[in-house]
Amino acid sequence: MVNKAGNSRNAMWDFFIDTFFFYYSQGGQTYGRHLEREISRVAGNLGANRIKNLPDGIITAWDVLELVDNKPQTLFYPITRAMYSLNFANSEQLRGALFDYFRQKMGNGISDADLEKAIVGSLSGLVKYLEPTDLARIQLDKNKFLDSVAQLYADRGNAKGSATHPYVVKAITEIGTRTELRYASLEGIVEPLARYIHLQKEERRDGAYTENQEGQGSGQTSPTQSGGGAEQVLQSMISQNDGDVNGMLPSIANDLKNKRMGEK
């Protein structure tokens, strides 16, 4: 159970912190504009192309590399990464290609119907246990959100999916950056994924292990460990003095009043 709780914790940490980074790194945000300036200043050329901004889909790059030469030992990793691919790409072509990559890694281990149930159910679960007053406070329409999640999944590789994508990402950010809502939403997110979470082994997590050590050992990694990327992302955000981002940072500090999943 310790490993199952730790796997849930790691997955949810990645889900929220990567969504925050994706949302705030967009060109219309202060942090996103700073990234564009820095990338333009220090980046060189990639072939004949000048790198001017953060490449689309970059958040999922490590997840793709993790599975290039490694067969996932459980379904939990590729399922959650397929879910992330829906959120972390603006381009419908890239979004569809990333999803297909992780789907291929699952093989015959899960049916298309069960995969849809897990991913759509998990994203929809974000609002399952939130009160109407909570949603009204952040001006989130529950029915619109549920419809947007379903359409994003069904039309992930075309323009219809792209039309609902910003609404879903913003909703996750609005809920996730508020501790009183984030912790209430976790149960609904994890429930549809619970059957795929391994009880004995800790899942591979973005470079958290050395090569060929997926799921070995019983010790749980920390969400801010080297390799997870969370600490570096947070420090980068903090250093920019962005008012919007700074207001969000205390909510993900994991203070004493809000224990991580699996902690007593």
| Two structure tokens written together for 198 | 């391994």
Q: Which helix (H) or strand (E) holds 24?
A: helix 2-24
Residue 84 lies in a domain: yes
Contact of 81 with 63, CB cutoff 8 Å? yes
Contact of 135 with 171, CB cutoff 8 Å? no
Spatial separation of the C-alpha atoms in residues 173 and 165, rounded to whole Å: 13
Q: What is the pLDDT of residue 213?
A: 40
Domain count, the chain: 1
Contacts of 97 by beta carbon, 8 Å cutoff, 6+ apart: 157
What's the mean pLDDT in 4-14? Answer: 59
Give the CA dihedral 115, 119, 121, 123, nearest 10 degrees. Answer: -170
Percentage of residues in the chain having pLDDT higher than 70: 64
Contact of 10 with 205, CB cutoff 8 Å? yes
Per-residue pLDDT at 5 exceeds 60: no
202: pLDDT confidence band, cut at 50, 70 and 90?
A: low
- Higher local confidence (pLDDT), 16 or 146: 146
Question: CA geometry: angle at 25 spanning 124 and 120, to 5°?
Answer: 15
Cβ burial of 29 (10 Å; 0-12, 13-18, 19+) is middle
Per-residue pLDDT at 77 exceeds 60: yes
- Please say whether the dihedral angle defined by the alpha carbons of residues 126, 260, 81 and 236, taken in this order, is positive or negative: positive
What's the mean pLDDT in 206-217? Answer: 40
Residue 202: how many other CB atoms lie within 10 Å: 22
Q: What is the pLDDT of residue 56?
A: 81
Per-residue pLDDT at 76 exceeds 70: yes
Residue 99 lies in a domain: yes
Helix (H, G, I), strand (E, B) or coil at 49: strand
Residue 45 lies in a domain: yes
Per-residue pLDDT at 210 exceeds 60: no
Residue 261 lies in a domain: no
Residue 264 lies in a domain: no
Most confident of 111-120, 202-211, 224-233: 111-120
Please name the amino acid found at residue 112.
D
Residue 262 lies in a domain: no
Most confident of 39-43, 155-159, 182-186: 155-159
Q: What is the pLDDT of residue 13?
A: 76
Residue 259 lies in a domain: no
**Structural domain of 171:** 2-210+219-252
Residue 246 lies in a domain: yes
Contact of 206 with 180, CB cutoff 8 Å? no
| Two structure tokens written together for 228 | 């997870």
Q: What's the DSSP call for residue 15? A: H
Q: Which helix (H) or strand (E) holds 50?
A: strand 49-50
